[in-house]
Amino acid sequence: MSKQNISFYESVNLNFDKASKLVDLPKGLLEQIKVCNAVYQMKFPVKVGNQIKVIEAYRVQHSHHRLPTKGGIRYSTHVDQDEVMALAALMTYKCAIVDVPFGGAKGGVKINPTKFTERQLESITRRYTTELVRKNFIGPGIDVPAPDYGTGPREMAWILDTYNTFKNGEIDSAGCVTGKPVNQNGINGRNEATGRGVYYGIREVLSYEKDMREIGLDPGTAGKTMVIQGLGNVGSFAGLISQEEGDIKVIAVSEFEGAIYSEKGLNVQKLIKFRKNTGSIIGFPGSVSLPNRDVALELECDILVPAALENVITKENAPRIKAKIIAEAANGPIAYEAEDILLKKGIIIIPDMYVNAGGVTVSYFEWLKNLSHTRFGRIEKRFNQNTYTNLVGLIEKMTGKVISEREKLILTKGADEIDLVRSGLEETMVEAYNQIRLVAKRKKKVQDLRTAAFINALNKVGNDYLNLGVFP
């Protein structure tokens, strides 16, 4: 295969090969880590109006070094076996990087969800789930799906309900899928999780003064400029949180209908509302339309956030990229052939398998919640609140200072579920980046964060096989 036609899966494996030369693991073990353990391709009939349509779908379990396996389900006309295998492999490495104890998996249904009614999508989702149940490819201790491109809480609720039809009485059945609605055994903070994780990852990279000076940036998020490609769930939350909590200025947004720009910055919250009302970002007040949607990728900015699909930055447009940092909010947005071009330009690439790991991290929290059968904060919230109240009262007594009721409410608040979820996600993203950066700084032959992340992941997965007796 020529380099012009490198597939997504091959691209993942080429990055794997690059890192595998820098780890001290047996060759046979590396080969076991690299391959997909189980690939299930299915075709099933679904009635759509007066017609019967045959739906093509997949579920891939990449690695069984930890169980259950974990990975989202995407609905897209681009779904094929190669893509699902690539995404499943990335999930293995992603889970290892953020210390989430799952093997990697992924699912895909080859449809355009906008071309089907809600009832038709429900039929497709339920039939897909039925196929997974029949082949033992789903379960809280086997394989746990989640939302991905084209799916969301609604589809996850259908999956859970279908699973319960077959597994009536299974006490931990709610853990068979994550990303569910909060009122149906979901968790607060899951919807924003991937985008929030992107922000935490960017913030952590920007916190290192020495690293930032090398690319001509001051440390810290405040005042940095950002371009977002893709205003779906991940891109919208990444932009919104970066703007509100990091004081980052979003100067351009690209979507399938076009791209807009504003030197003064775009209000992401208002832009999301505008697009919901009009169906387009074009015409947003205070913005100008760019000639085409791809131009946004090439704008001068501090941070570029590709948050849609894979291979949007190629060897053709890579020489024109002017960002100082690229945060891969999507899976595989940088083609393998483009990476060296970007690195030679001095661009810092924050790899997808780290920076978009917020979703699987909070999915892990949801899975734990389902298995424990209690929401986060239920046991300790009031105890902590009472402890803080007593402490504030003691401070007032000792100092003679009267603390206002508003200040008391802030100081004595016990953590709600979403507070604990955000705290856990922040800790995960900070610790994971520190591990990756340490590898990048200590290994002489490592010139980029992706290779460092792969090395970290391979060592963790390899140690599981060797130390836990999983490898025969």
What are the pLDDT digits (tens) for 430-453? Answer: 999 999 999 998 877 777 999 999
According to the model, what pLDDT value does residue 442 have?
A: 86
> What are the residues whose beta carbons fall under 8 Å from the beta carbon of 204, sequence distance 6 or more?
429, 430, 433, 434
Distance, in Å, from the CA atom of 4 to the CA atom of 10, rounded to the nearest integer, reads 12
Look at the block and give the residue holding tokens 């790899």: 351
pLDDT value at position 242?
Answer: 97
CA-to-CA distance for 462 and 467, rounded, in angstroms? 8
Rounded distance between C-alpha atoms, residue 451 and residue 16, angstroms: 8
| Residue-level pLDDT at 446 | 77
Residue range 254-283, pLDDT digits in tens:
998 999 999 999 999 999 999 999 999 999
pLDDT > 70 fraction of the chain, expressed in percent and rounded: 98
Cα(352)–Cα(106) distance, integer angstroms: 15
Q: Catalytic residue, from 18, 70, 94, 106: name it.
A: 106
pLDDT tens for 282-326 read 999 999 999 988 899 999 999 999 998 788 999 999 999 999 999
pTM: 0.91
Enumerate residues 6+ apart whose C-beta is below 8 A from 326: 303, 304, 305, 306, 313, 334, 342, 347, 348, 349, 350
Question: 265: Cβ–Cβ under 8 A, 6 or more apart, which residues?
Answer: 249, 250, 251
371 near 170, Cβ under 8 Å? no
Domain 193-358 fold: Rossmann fold (3.40.50)
Lowest mean pLDDT among 2-11, 80-89, 155-164, 225-234: 2-11
Q: Please, how many CA atoms are within 13 Å of residue 50, restricted to the half-sphere of its CB?
A: 0
pLDDT of amino acid 4: 53
State the pairing for strand pair 38-48/103-109. Answer: unpaired
The whole-angstrom separation of Cα 176 and Cα 143 is 7
**Domain span(s) for CATH 3.40.50.10860 in the chain:** 3-186+452-467
Q: Where in the chain is the domain with CATH 3.40.50.720?
A: 193-358
At 135-148, the pLDDT tens digits run 999 999 999 999 99
pLDDT at 129 over 80: yes
SS3 readout for the chain: CCHHHCCHHHHHHHHHHHHHCCCCCCHHHHHHHHCCCEEEEEEEEEEECCEEEEEEEEEEECCCCCCCEEEEEEECCCCCHHHHHHHHHHHHHHHHHCCCCCEEEEEEECCCHHHCCHHHHHHHHHHHHHHHHHCCCCECCCEEEEECCCCCHHHHHHHHHHHHHHCCCCCCHHHHCCCCCHHHCCCCCCCCHHHHHHHHHHHHHHCCHHHHHHCCCCCCCCCCEEEEECCCHHHHHHHHHHHHHHCCEEEEEEECCEEEECCCCCCHHHHHHHHHHHCCCCCCCCCEECCCHHHHHHCCCCEEEECCCCCCECCCCHHHCCCCEEECCCCCCECHHHHHHHHHCCCEEECHHHHCCHHHHHHHHHHHHHHHCCCCCCCCHHHHHHHHHHHHHHHHHHHCCCCCHHHHHHHHCCCCHHHHHHHHHHHHHHHHHHHHHHHHHHCCCCCCHHHHHHHHHHHHHHHHHHHCCCCC
Q: CA-to-CA distance for 314 and 242, rounded, in angstroms?
A: 26
pLDDT class for 402, splitting at 50, 70, 90?
A: confident
- Show Cβ contacts of residue 73 under 8 Å, excluding neighbours closer than 6 positions: 106, 107, 108, 109, 128, 145, 146, 147, 148, 151, 155
Q: If we measure between CA atoms, which residue out of 168, 171, 174 comes closest to residue 156?
A: 174
How far apart, in whole angstroms, are the C-alpha atoms of residue 55 and residue 131?
12
**Helical packing angle, 336-344 and 8-20, nearest 10°:** 60
Nearest to 331 by CA among 98, 110, 11: 11
| 445 assigned to active site | no
Which CATH architecture is the domain 3-186+452-467 placed in? 3-Layer(aba) Sandwich (3.40)
451 neighbors 18 (Cβ within 8 angstroms): yes
178: number of CA atoms within 13 Å, CB side?
Answer: 30
Residue 2 above 50 pLDDT? no
Residue 214: CB atoms within 10 Å: 11
> Per mean pLDDT, which range of 86-100, 308-322, 401-415 is the poorest?
401-415
Average pLDDT over residues 88-105: 96
Tokens of 407: 């200040």
